[in-house]
Amino acid sequence: MAGNNSGGGSYPLDDHVKSVARDLQHRFAQMSNRDQKFDLHVIPDLLSQPVVPEPPAQDDKEAQNFEKYLIAMSHIPLNYENPGLLDEALQQIPLDRLSQEAEEEVELFQAKAASLGRSRPEWSHQECMVRALLRWFRRSFFTFVNNPPCSECLSPTNKIRNVAPTPEERAHSATWVELYACVTCGAYERFPRYTEAWQLLRVKRGRAGDFANVFTMLCRALDIRARWVWCQEDYLWTEIYSEHQQRWVHVDSCEEAWDMPHMYYKNWGKKMSYVIAFSREGAVDVTRRYVGSPDALLPRTRCSEGVLKFIMEEITNLHRPKYAPDGETRLRLYREDVAEDVQLRSLWSATLEQSRRLKAAAAAAARGGRSSPDNKSSANMMGSPATGDIKRPIPEDAPVPDVPSLWPTYGP
């Protein structure tokens, strides 16, 4: 353990890092104010404002339980961080094939960029490698199972009930077993519900949560920064960090979806309350990236926003120092945290604004029958796939900002 790593419970930062961090925070606060001035008509809302972290109150049992629950969840992606097991996972990936596919795709992105007169392709080799992994994983490696087919005659099965795992199944991380009966031969089929990515890697089948579990681990095997994303409304997926675009990218390995954070509310009509991204680098409330409309946000009642912020920082302080022992890495991650916080708040402001405009246009159309709807908003809402949410064309000669290019596209 490094000598400067003795900060006890708090996240250790040396003085230099602290002063740079304070400066950054101050500048972000100013930028944030300026941003709000540009958008005075934005509906004030807590989720678009900076939040001061506060620990759960002594008598707030519900908030304390949520805290315990999230801390327990935060250990799941730490299971991936085992070099021997990651090596084993790597053996399963057809690296040469994926690498070649990635090469070819990068060339396509480069050609596309050239034809549009851009100097940078949209995605680099790193992201194309994950895209190739995603295709291989969904199409050839991992199988979605609802009712498992009969292993005797391959006929469909019907579920009978849940049963306890055998000692062997339990040793392989099964917490319970779904028992099915074959409709043709009557044989019983056991479907152990494994929790460990390592065991799921061996059985190569499962449901959405299992997809997210194994796929996130495989991204880690490729040494890509990856988050395991938990949604309170019973769904899980992955985020990977794109060095090329300097932002976290949504990846749903069960749906073979890349960078479509709005697919859940737009395509599925899914409403969500809490979406939390966990990794060895800590925890982040990323709900606002996925809830693309205030109507799709369910009440957040498990704790106050300040307490949630506190829990996110608590988890980050718990895990990050072990993986980011040096000041330089910690500073880089801190800058990313601040930038992502600004990004998510700005995104939410834009979401509220867009919703307001759509509702105003709908009301005007209802009043006047033929009066023109807000074409710009509706095109934004329904037109392009929800790639990235935030894309502002960057002039070729623009200075590279100190802060990653996460600044929102909306504004004056």
Q: How far is the CB of 190 from Zn ion (least distance, A)?
A: 13
Q: How far is the CB of 194 from Zn ion (least distance, A)?
A: 23
174 pairs with which residues across the strands?
Answer: 194
Rounded distance between C-alpha atoms, residue 280 and residue 298, angstroms:
28
> What does the block give as tokens for 370?
């033929």
Q: Which stretch binds Zn ion (CB under 5 A): 79-87, 155-163, 291-299, 314-322?
A: 155-163
| Minimum CB distance to Zn ion smaller for 152 or for 243 | 152
Q: Can residue 160 be called a binding residue for Zn ion (CB under 5 A)?
A: no
* Of positions 182, 296, 303, 308, contacts Zn ion by CB under 5 A: 182
Torsion of CA 29, 34, 36, 40, to 10 degrees: 160
215 neighbors 239 (Cβ within 8 angstroms): no
Nearer to Zn ion, 155 or 173 (CB): 155
Residues, the chain: 412
CB 389 within 8 A of CB 261: yes
Q: For strand 143-144 and strand 205-206, is the pairing parallel, antiparallel, or unpaired? A: parallel
29 lies in the site for Zn ion, by CB under 5 A? no
Helix (H) or strand (E) holding 21: helix 15-38
Least distance from Zn ion to the Cβ atom of residue 119, Å: 59
Which tokens go with 129? 């490698």
Among 185, 363, 379, 394, binds Zn ion (CB under 5 A): 185
| Residues touching Zn ion, count (CB under 5 A) | 8
Q: Which of 43, 46, 57, 153 binds Zn ion (CB under 5 A)?
A: 153
In the bound state with Zn ion, the residue whose beta carbon lies nearer, of 98 and 182, is 182
Tell me if 150 contacts Zn ion by CB under 5 A: yes
Six token digits for residue 83: 């070099």
**Do residues 151 and 183 touch, judged by C-beta distance below 8 A?**
no
Q: How far is the CB of 152 from Zn ion (least distance, A)?
A: 4
Cα 338 to Cα 21, 181, 406, distances in angstroms: 9, 53, 11
Instruction: Using the minimum distance from each CB to Zn ion, give the nearer residue, 157 or 279.
Output: 157
Q: Min. distance of Cβ 170 from Zn ion in angstroms?
A: 26
- Which token pair is 286? 């990323």
Tell me the sheet residues that pair with 272: 297
155 is an interface residue for Zn ion by CB under 5 A? yes
- Considering the complex, state which of residue 157 and residue 253 has its C-beta at the smaller distance from Zn ion: 157
Give min distance, CB of 148 to Zn ion, in A. 11
By CB under 5 A, name the one of 103, 152, 234, 295 that touches Zn ion. 152
**Binding-site ranges for Zn ion (CB under 5 A):** 150, 152-153, 155, 182, 184-185, 187
